[in-house]
A and B are shown apart, each in its own frame.
Chain A
Amino acid sequence: MGDGGKRKLRAKLLARLINGKIKLSVDYSVGEIMKDLELELGITLLYMQALKAREYVRVLVMGRPMDQYKILSWMCAVIVRGNADLRAYVELDGCRFKRMFVAYGACLNGFILGSKKMVFVDGTHLSGPYEGTLLAALALGANNHIFELAYAVEGGNK
């Protein structure tokens, strides 16, 4: 327990050091954290230490990932209100996130009016604390550019 407490303290201290930088750029990588701290303060960190500090600050800056799932329904309702043809909804399984679907009206209209009549679908696994799958449908525009149609996110098993 004592050791765990020490580690947590260190993560907190480190978090204070890198707090400002993460606020500036969310993608501040673990490697950069290690390099910057070594150059500026002469502290050599293990990868895991830097990673833990970064996760700690991310929670401080952006809130817990869990809480971000909570505002999904609200976000869907808001974007639907602002865009007439948009379809976006979240399905819940009890209180748990099950899946969500988003298709922008402009993309759908563009596809119906002026794209090649082909849809490309594929899925990919998501990383991060809750995992899950991202399903996407794309089309090719009139000048062979990628034209996004719709995407869905399936909740993972966690």
Chain B
Amino acid sequence: MQLRGGTNEDWLWFLTQLHECLGGMEPVVMSDRGNGLLTGVLAVFGKENHAYCVRHVMENFLEQAVKLGI
């Protein structure tokens, strides 16, 4: 998903708030690999706790593939 600029910071803020709410728990975060989410989750939950949604990844891959004419 293409989000407007400045959203990296917004995601970071949202994830920080969420992390605080969960009180020290470290869940696995599923995301669509959006730009803001990649950096945000890495900073707040850590890389090992980040999982990607297959459906989104596949959609993005197909989109790119079509663009490149594969």
Contacts and interface: CB of A to CB of B under 8 A. Distances in A.
Interface of A: 87, 99, 101, 103, 108, 111-112, 117-123, 133, 135, 137, 139, 149-150, 152, 154, 157
Contacts of A137: 14, 18
Contacts of B51: 118
Main secondary structure of the interface of A (DSSP, over half): strand
B17 interface: yes
Given A87-B21, A157-B4, A119 B29 contact: yes
Interface residues of B, number: 27
Contacts of A103: 17-18, 21
A119 B14 CA distance: 13
A139 to B, nearest CB: 8
B39 interface: no
Interface in B1-16: 1, 3-4, 7, 10-11, 13-15
Contacts of B29: 118-121
B18 A118 contact: no
Contacts, number: 71
B67 to A, nearest CB: 22
Prevailing SS type, chain B contact patch: mixed
14 contacts: A112-B25, A117-B25, A119-B18, A119-B28, A120-B30, A120-B53, A121-B15, A121-B30, A121-B31, A121-B37, A123-B1, A149-B18, A149-B21, A157-B4
Given A121-B31, A123-B7, A150-B14, 16 more contacts: A87-B21, A108-B21, A117-B25, A117-B27, A117-B28, A118-B29, A120-B29, A121-B30, A122-B31, A122-B32, A123-B1, A123-B11, A135-B14, A149-B18, A152-B17, A157-B4
**7 tightest A-B CB contacts, nearest first:** A117-B27, A120-B30, A135-B14, A152-B14, A118-B28, A119-B27, A103-B21
B8 to A, nearest CB: 12
Contacts of A139: 27
